[in-house]
Amino acid sequence: MSDNYKPGLEGVIAGDTAVACVDQGVLLYRGYPIEQLAEKATFEECAYLLLNDDLPNATELATFKKELDSFRALPKQVVDALRLIPNNVPMMDVLRSMVSMTGHFDPVSDPADNKRRAIWLTAQIAGIIAARYRLLNGQEPIAAIPGLSHAAQILYQAQGTEPDALSAKLLDLTLMLYAEHEFNASTFTARVICSTMSDLVSAIVGAIGALKGPLHGGANEAAMDMLKQFKSGEEAKAWIKDALANKKKVMGFGHRVYKNGDHRAQILEVELRKLAASKNQQVWMDIYDAIKEPMVNEKHIFPNVDYPCGLTYYLLGLPLDLYTPLFVAARITGWSAHFIEQAANNRIYRPLSKYVGPALRSVTPISVRA
């Protein structure tokens, strides 16, 4: 048994999947490279792809988007429950509770129709995030506008105005890049819950709990929190020099899967620079580059997707507490795809453990215990 022991299951193949893989450093969604999807597709097309076997044609996409729109309205009871949550509760805790709550109002009558249930949850999660954002800002939740893209819908329902094309495109891109990433901790959590023959809502709630942890989700928030402490590229240069000399943690860099750079970060960074230029915020790119360049050139540690994503969300006017929930808004599609796949060819997960406690010993009566 000791020869097979892998702490954290690192390097262990825990199951088959046709949903996604990282092949020689390239992320594929059902065989399609993420670079091509980012260039030629939308989040809705990626969501359809993950939940089905291939990309949709125009008719299939229109039907999918119409179904998403039909599920956007939150149950009144969910909105009422949102009002009762204290303002200081982190958004990931709110989302965990409210996804469980909305599960009581599941409109999909067929218990086995998890593809349709996944579409419903995708719409509901976006609505919960937007409604919570507005309530925190003293504003009432607003109804969706049918026909907007999923990304534009999130921005509209949160901020109250239809976003410009570049902002909608940037959020759409981040949703695509975050939608799926094979057997990560939260996806594995969803599959383990599914393997017990539990339901999709329970699996998604469990996955949200796993993503909440700072070693999995939250890195985009942490990366932006790091960048926010600087007012100029020069300040950032001084800090990173000290950080590297004293071996401080630099958020948003390194990835267990991508040893030579996360190409999702490269894709997003190109568009981030356009966003910063459009908003006359070059100072943020100066700070961004001041941290990135010595990390890459001196330490050979590359940015992961969370590094540009944090700044992207910041320039879109979104508060830090929304960043990991937006990760959920994307990854719900990947989680659901894995749940459906697990359920179709199920075997309960039951790994072994390596016992390191006391050896066999006898129980003495309480009257003679020291």
Residue 186 contacts residue 212 (beta carbons within 8 Å): no
Residue 316 contacts residue 171 (beta carbons within 8 Å): yes
Q: How far apart are alpha carbons 25 and 7 in whole angstroms?
A: 23
Q: How far apart are alpha carbons 112 and 200 in whole angstroms?
A: 10
Q: Reduce the DSSP state of residue 32 to 3 states and report it.
A: strand
| Rg from Cα positions in the chain | 22
Q: Is 255 among the catalytic positions?
A: yes
Note the helical H segments in the chain. 34-40, 43-51, 58-70, 76-84, 91-102, 114-136, 150-159, 165-178, 185-195, 200-212, 219-227, 233-245, 263-278, 282-297, 306-315, 323-344
Report phi then psi at 141, rounded to 5.
Answer: -60, 150
Residue 102 contacts residue 133 (beta carbons within 8 Å): no
Q: How far apart are alpha carbons 223 and 252 in whole angstroms?
A: 5
Instruction: Point out the catalytic residue in the list 150, 172, 306, 338.
Output: 306
Residue 289 contacts residue 199 (beta carbons within 8 Å): no
Residue 19's CB is within 10 A of a number of other CB atoms, namely: 22
Choose among 260, 243, 253: nearest CA to 308.
Answer: 253
Choose among 38, 305, 36, 44: nearest CA to 151.
Answer: 44
Residue 227 contacts residue 291 (beta carbons within 8 Å): yes
Instruction: Point out the catalytic residue in the list 69, 199, 216, 289.
Output: 216
Give 321: exposed, middle or buried? Use CB within 10 Å, 0-12, 13-18, 19+: middle
Instruction: Point out the catalytic residue in the list 150, 172, 181, 255.
Output: 255
Q: Is 306 among the catalytic positions?
A: yes
Catalytic residues: 216, 255, 306
